[in-house]
């Protein structure tokens, strides 16, 4: 079983390998893809878990899993004062990384993920 802590690259690669080795029990999803097509991914998760669904159920799950709905729900926002649920979305790293830091990450990403075949969309269609 993959580690829960440690370098992000190891974490992602280990879980991807585990999902490839045992696809009946481990589902590997991409956050940015889920944001782009939430109902499609909710459907995939329901099928993976063996849950019957209707288009209405998919729409309700989509609405309930929006960031604004989760912030209002005390069952999903357990620590509102600690801003556990921040702004959501993809590509927020652009607000924190300088151009130089972004380029450095890109280089490390290419080195660490080389040969994995794993391509990540870090928001706004940036695929590495």
Q: What are the pLDDT digits (tens) for 73-112?
A: 888 888 777 777 777 877 777 788 898 998 898 889 889 9
Q: How far apart are CA 103 and CA 109, in angstroms?
A: 10
Residue found under tokens 């940036």: 126
Residue 125, pLDDT > 60, answer no
> H/E/C letters for each residue in the chain?
CCCCCCCHHHHHHHHHHHHHHCCCCCCCCCHHHHHHCHHHHHHHHHHHHCCCCCHHHHHHHHHHCCHHHHHHCCCCCCCHHHCCCCCCCCCHHHHCCCHHHHHHHHHHHHHHHCCCCCCCECCCCCEC
Angle at which helices 55-64 and 38-49 pack, to 10 degrees? 110
What pLDDT score was predicted for residue 124? 53
What pLDDT score was predicted for residue 1? 67
Average pLDDT, integer, range 30-48: 93
Q: What is the pTM of this model?
A: 0.78
As given in the structure block, the two tokens for residue 3 are: 């580690």
What pLDDT score was predicted for residue 94? 78
């Amino acid at each position: 079983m993959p580690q829960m802590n440690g370098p992000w690259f190891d974490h992602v690669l280990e879980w991807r390998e585990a999902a490839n080795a045992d696809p009946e029990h481990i589902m590997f999803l991409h956050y940015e893809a889920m944001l782009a097509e939430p109902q499609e991914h909710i459907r995939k998760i329901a099928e993976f878990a063996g849950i019957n669904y209707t288009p209405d159920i998919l729409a309700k799950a989509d609405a309930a899993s929006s960031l604004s709905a989760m912030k209002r729900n005390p069952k999903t926002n357990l620590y509102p004062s600690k801003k556990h649920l921040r702004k959501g979305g993809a590509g927020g790293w652009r607000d924190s990384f300088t151009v130089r830091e972004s380029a450095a990450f890109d280089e490390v990403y290419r080195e660490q993920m080389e040969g994995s075949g794993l391509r990540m969309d870090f928001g706004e269609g940036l695929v590495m």
